[in-house]
A and B are shown apart, each in its own frame.
Chain A
Amino acid sequence: MTPFQLEIQLVAIIVAAASALPGTFLVLRGMAMMSDAISHAILPGLVVAFFVTGSLSSPWLMAGGALVGVGTVALVEAIRRTRLVREDAAIGLVFPALFSLGVILIARYAGDVHLDTDAVLLGELALVPFDRWIFHGYDMGPKALYAMGGVLAVSLLFVTLLQKELKLATFDPGLAAALGLRPTLLHYLLMGLVSVTAVAAFDAVGSILVVALMVGPPAAAHLVTDRLDRMILLSVGIGALSAVGGYWLAWALDASIAGSMAAVVGITFLSALLWAPGRGLLAIRRRRRRQRWTFAHKMLTIHLAQHERQPDQPFERHVEHLQDHLHWEKEFADQVVRRAVRAGLITRQGPQLLLTQAGRSLANEAIVAD
């Protein structure tokens, strides 16, 4: 691994961590699409700040973008409050307009400089090591490392200092307001943080990867855990893993780094969707199936117990009778019997089914419990 590769991955990991922190709260608060809106809408702010300062790494760029980001949120809110359109439509109206403005500004007035539209959408992580911070003749490493490191520090501060407030405002906004926690202020702080992260990250990874890293890892973590602190840690971990994995995927395919990272985010989410313990699709399916057999076993033992030592016993405990009495298909009935024999609940004597002691107690338990 060359130093450049190491630096690229380091920046990517920091971007992933810095995105996952505010992203967790976006996902929990049902505002994930705001990351999409903000990361697109900041473009005109960046372009104007770029024209004014003439540099892509000026802190004014960050300020301009963040200002437009928060302005976007305010505009969406203002349109929603007229009640002329719903919130989702308001989002869908505002950010394409602002993004279009930015793209046109670039195409008209900045066509020849580094700022081009592809870079905005896709970012160019591979270029990160070439924009270095030289301090008194010493090479301090890529500038992006410091920009993103700063944003990560702010995010960490935000999440740790306001942990209680964020938690309450996220899970019980009514109570938070009643306790005087100013959820609106918190909302705009969070949106400001999302904007700053998006601005700092756009140069390196592009607006789409920001969305992927803000929404994907927290959504995957949400499938795995119920606790907020664990969800935050998991999101950061999943994000970092996807970033590194995506880098090497891009290396293997010789393809877009940002795109590969987004793809790996998708893969990790799909894995969580399928295999998350207890809550993944496969776990759900397994549980449903197990419940089906358990229920069938109970039915069978109860049925046999009901007719034990009754005059109709020989008839009722006949294998074929299950189809009539319990309305089971023959195939299903055979399977249940086989499994019940294996589980030691019944024994077979020819076509006759006899309860074992275990089966009898299962039936008793089931009847008493219900």
Chain B
Amino acid sequence: MEQLLTDYTLRTVALGSALLGATSGTLGTFAVLRRQSLLGDAISHAALPGIGIAFLLTGSKVPLILMVGAALAGWAATALVMVITTHTRVKYDSALGLVLSVFFGVGLVVLTIIQKTPNANQAGLDAFLFGQAAALVTSDVVTMALLGGMALVMCALFWKEFKLLAFNEEFAHSLGLPVRRLDLLLTTLLVIAIVIGLQMVGVVLMSAMIVAPAAAARQWTDRLGTMALVALAVGAVSGLAGALVSTSTAHLPTGPTIVLCVSLLVAVSLLFAPRRGLVARAVRRRLNSRRLQREAILMDLYRLAAQHEATEHPHSEGALMAMKPQAGRLHAQLRQLEHEGLVRAHSPRHWVLTPEGVKTCQDNRRGQNGS
């Protein structure tokens, strides 16, 4: 921890990764809700030729210039996907796959051309494939902070509009909102969020930073604001963890490490989130079926008692078992019913309904007949 405050590289990396996670998490929230999860993949792959061409044209490796190139290419890719899907019968997924692979291919062509130019400045462009946290310097972080901060501020300013766009585009349209321009703005912000992360995570895996934090966050809440905040936190934490682990270990590329961290958080969220999580769901299902089982046992007891005029006539567990041979855990269930005050033990392994139990059964009966 002390190292984090004193070590220059670590501090830079930590700041950069937190920034990356924060912007991609927040903007990813909208992308995931608007079913544009894979658009991020297309945009990040498409950024590669932008980076290469920006370098070819300017000969500079200033992050801002490369990022502008990446953003323009990513933006052009999005526009192309839109043109293809609106004007032809080619479907969205095909348009994405096509644009993604073709732009990436052009990027490779440009990169291989750069590699053959006698320009000593070229080293490091390769890092854009899988990211290289260790190469991050202060000016990079400043650029990331400026762009990311801008994107987040815009997001906050247009919060209400974007919310409407995410959940009910038709309604937004009917309110007279400029839906197309808002869509354009939101896509542009998404492009910025992706471009920020390229240096750290790389073009191949950046899409995961858009999808995963949002998908994890979605499991913990039903509110957009909370979701965006959780996604921000998930993105920042996994960015930080991945970057720190990869810089402190040899032969560990940053991008894949960050992606594995965020994937782990997604898995934890899918499994253990309260209410929506798979474990919570299984537990709930189990408890429900137990409760239904108990209700059935209670009704059996009631039916048996009804044959004896007096409802406090005790019955053995054997008799109950005979009525529902499949009911396991009969004794434990009866104990639970006793705990709820619906039955009481008469003698060992013999049970009788309490007045409250009788009332519950009568209510159940009525409810069933009524429906």
Contact = CB atoms under 8 A, between A and B. Distances in A.
Nearest to A103: B256
Interface stretch (A80-88, A151-159, A167-175, A292-300): A80-88
Contact of A101 (B36, B40, B260): B260
Contacts of B36: 88
A35 interface: yes
Interface residues on B, range: 35 or more
B210 to A, nearest CB: 8
Contact of A215 (B98, B103, B259, B263): B98
Interface residues of A, number: 62
A266 B108 contact: no
A233 interface: no
B38 A96 contact: no
The A interface is mostly helix, strand or loop, or mixed, namely helix
**Per DSSP, are chain B's interface residues mostly helix, strand or loop, or mixed?**
helix
Contacts of A89: 32, 37, 211, 214-215
A343 B93 CA distance: 46
Contacts of B207: 92, 96
Given A88-B35, A100-B259, A208 B97 contact: no
Given A36-B41, A92-B40, A216-B101, A108 B252 contact: yes
A353 to B, nearest CB: 37
A262 interface: yes
A222 interface: yes
A222 B90 CA distance: 7
Contacts, number: 207
A99 B41 contact: no
A15 to B, nearest CB: 14
A100 B205 contact: yes
A281 interface: yes
A117 B211 CA distance: 23
A193 interface: no
Given A104-B253, A253-B113, A262-B106, A91 B215 contact: no
B90 A219 contact: yes
B253 A103 contact: yes
B222 to A, nearest CB: 12
Given A262-B104, A263-B109, 12 more contacts: A32-B96, A33-B38, A85-B215, A88-B37, A88-B38, A89-B32, A96-B212, A117-B253, A121-B204, A256-B108, A262-B108, A265-B105
